[in-house]
Amino acid sequence: MQYTTLGRTNLRVSRTSFGALPIQRVTLEEAAYLLRKAYDHDITFFDTARGYTDSEEKIGHALADAREKIVIASKTHAKDAAAFRESLETSLRLLRMDYIDIFQFHVPSEMPGREHEAYQAMLEAREQGKIRFIGISCHRLDVARQAAASGLYDTVQFPMSAISSKADLQLIDDCKAHNVGLIGMKALAGGLITNARTSFAFLRQFENVVPIWGVQREWELDDVLA
C-alpha cells in the first residue's frame, strides 16, 4: 500500500481509500467483513456521512477497536448550530468513537463562511476535541475552488475521475497551492467508467488526490486492492 499526506492536516492516509456509502445496502455482517478486509489490507482512510443511513454504525461495529490506526471522515447536512451539534453527537455515538478526524459540510449550495453559525459550531467542536479537521464535500466546482482558497477548510471532497473536465482538474492545482487535502469521490464517475484500473491509473498521477472507492461487493474491493 502507498500512503500520502492529506494536505495541511499532516494525516498519512492510504492512497487507496474506502468510500462507505455503498455499505448501507448490505447487511451488518457483510459490511463488517468488507471493512475488516480493507483494514487488513492496509487501507487506513474511511469516508462516510450522517446521511448514509447506517453506514456510520457499520463502521463503528467493524473498526472501533482499530480507532488509533485509521482516519475517519464523516459529513453533516446541518445548516445551523443546533442541528450541527445533534448531527455530530449522533455520528460519534454510532461510530463508537470520541472524535472524528475530518468532519465535512455535506454538499452545501454555498460555502459556509467564518460567520456562518454552523461553521462556528464546527470551530467549537474542534476546540472541544470532537473533530480534528474541517472539510467540505461538494459537487459544484465554484464552491470547491472557493473553499480551497478560503483558508477555512483543511480538505475538499469533489468528484475526480479519468473523465473529469480540464476545469475540474484545475482543482488539483488549487488544493496543492493552498496545501488543502483533496479527497476524490465518484472515481468511477457514478458507474460511467466500468474498468476501475483506468481511473485508478489516471488518478494515481496526482499525489495530492486521495480517491475514495465506493465498495459494496468483495470483488470491487479486490479490484481496487489489485
Which three three-digit cell numbers place residue 16? 487507496
Tell if the pTM clears 0.75, that is, is over it. Answer: yes
The per-residue pLDDT for 191 is 85
The per-residue pLDDT for 190 is 86
Residues 6+ apart with CB under 8 A from 16: 1, 2, 43, 211, 213, 224, 225
Asked whether the beta carbons of 43 and 18 are under 8 A apart, the reply is yes
The per-residue pLDDT for 194 is 87
Q: Which residues of the chain have pLDDT under 70?
A: none
The per-residue pLDDT for 61 is 97
The per-residue pLDDT for 168 is 97
Q: Which residues are catalytic?
A: 52
**Please, which contacts does 114-118 make with residues 24 or more away whose CB atoms are closer than 8 Å?**
114/152, 117/80, 117/81, 118/76, 118/78, 118/79, 118/80, 118/81, 118/83, 118/84
Strands (DSSP E) contained in the chain are 3-5, 12-14, 17-19, 45-47, 71-76, 100-106, 131-137, 155-159, 181-185, 209-214
